[in-house]
């Protein structure tokens, strides 16, 4: 599973979705240090927070295509809170992405700056989607408060 998370982390970095990539990087660090390490038994709250963070990134990716920036930011914020509870906070939101391959030392890649010339698609308000987001945010917040 850590390798799969690194693969998705790298893809998100290439897509310039740095905050989501940083959340997955923190999830990877937690998995390696706390779950897969010898003599390590994470408690259920930690595993639940990990699952919430990964699920939040997945939910965020669903909203990236819908151009709902408010929902995207709320969901990413919840994912960042989840990994912070694990002791692996996301640091900064700059364009530096750390990638680690199998058997390779970590490498820092500086992403080129974007010129902002990409046109934004008009946002579509959909009551049902906003209601679902509200329910999701409420549920994740309750879990993170445990």
d(CA 81, CA 136): 15
Provide the 8-state DSSP code for 110: E
Is 70 a residue whose pLDDT tops 50?
yes
In this predicted structure, what is the pLDDT of residue 109?
Answer: 47
d(CA 118, CA 61): 19
Contact 71, 137 (CB under 8 A): no
Q: Are strands 96-99 and 107-110 parallel, antiparallel or unpaired?
A: antiparallel
Provide the 8-state DSSP code for 111: P
In this predicted structure, what is the pLDDT of residue 4?
Answer: 86
pLDDT, the chain, mean: 73
Per-residue pLDDT tens digits for 88-141:
888 754 333 344 444 444 444 444 455 555 555 545 544 446 666 666 667 766
Residue-range domain boundaries for the chain = 2-112+119-144
Q: pLDDT class for 41, splitting at 50, 70, 90?
A: confident
DSSP secondary structure of 113-126: PP-S-PPPPPP---
29 CB-near residues (< 8 Å, 6+ apart): 88
For the chain, the first-to-last Cα distance in angstroms comes to 26
């Amino acid at each position: 599973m850590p390798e799969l998370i690194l693969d998705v982390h790298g893809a998100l970095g290439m897509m310039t979705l740095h905050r989501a990539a940083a959340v997955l990087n923190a999830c990877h660090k937690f998995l390696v240090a706390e779950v897969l390490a010898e003599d390590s038994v994470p408690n259920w709250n930690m595993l639940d927070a990990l699952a919430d963070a990964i699920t939040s990134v997945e939910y965020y990716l669903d909203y990236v295509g819908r151009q709902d920036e408010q929902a995207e930011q709320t969901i990413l914020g919840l994912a960042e809170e989840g990994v912070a509870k694990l002791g692996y906070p996301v640091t900064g939101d700059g364009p530096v992405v750390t990638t680690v391959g199998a058997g390779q030392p970590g490498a820092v890649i500086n992403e080129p700056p974007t010129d902002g010339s990409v046109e934004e698609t008009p946002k579509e308000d959909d009551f049902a989607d906003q209601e679902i987001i509200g329910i999701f945010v409420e549920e994740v917040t309750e879990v993170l408060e445990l």
